Structure 1
Amino acid sequence: MDSRIECTLSRFADDTKLCGTVNTLEGRDAIQRDLDRIERWACANHMKFNKCKVLHMGQGNPKHNCRLGGEWIESSPEEKDLGVLIDEKLNMSLHCMLAAQKVNCILGCIKTSMASRSREVILPLCSCETPPGVLCPALGPPT
């Protein structure tokens, strides 16, 4: 797949990324040529890409449109990469906020469903559901 690719091609399991600098027309044309090469490779190998998105990064990005085959690739303000949600500024604050909401929801369920609030009962439940080093403020102090 990656023979004659001009831009950076990354693959992990079933995930493929093509990255390049497209602040000039030459850069835009290079990434489009690579997309065309990848599409030809996929057709020759009876494969198909799905869920293709463009994440434009950097200030002053001209946000050029790209095609894969005959279809325009949709632009996205943020994307998940290997389970981490990042945006066009490489900011992970949305990912952190969503993770905190999920943990707080789980802790709320533990709080409302457990009759005992003793340290022996609550602490193992918290440590199973929250990352190391995170306290369980939603539960209050153990008794």
Structure 2
Amino acid sequence: MLYKTYIRPHLEYSVQAWCPYLKKDIIMMEKVQRRATKLIPSIRHLSYPKRLQEMKLYSLEQRRLRGDLIETFKVMKGLEGITSTKLFTLNTQRHRGRGHNYKLYKSALKKGLNCRKNFFSIRAISEWNNLPETVVEAKTTNQFKTQLDKFWCKSVNGYGVKKADA
């Protein structure tokens, strides 16, 4: 409870604007959560993914992805006061019957502009396009979050560990 209240908000502050992409930064931030989960004596002996499961937490990387998808949902539904066309382009050339109606077009990155791959408007597209229609067709943000969590629990155990690894 203390970790969720005092530490995690600092690790996640403004993460959609600043998302760590260097391996060393990701590892450094994940170490904080790893250490905090070891402070609980009853689950100290478990592996990190098992501790996350036990505490019903996501890895910080999974939390960042979840935040990106929630922000994408808000932009696409017009809940952020940002015109979605300023950040995203709907993929009009998708095949009928495949996926949902909110598939986004991901343009190829030009050589030398590799840094763009870490921009919010680029990094969220692939994961957004992989979501099922039941998730992206949600009416409210809370409904979207619930549907996303259910979808992740079916594909992975919801805590960053694939079911085969659990």
TM-score range, shorter chain: under 0.3
State the TM-score, normalizing by the size of structure 2: 0.23
Larger Rg: 1
Higher relative contact order, structure no. (Cα contacts within 8 Å, ≥ 6 residues apart)? 2
State the TM-score, normalizing by the size of structure 1: 0.25
Question: Where is the strand percentage greater, Structure 1 or Structure 2?
Answer: 1
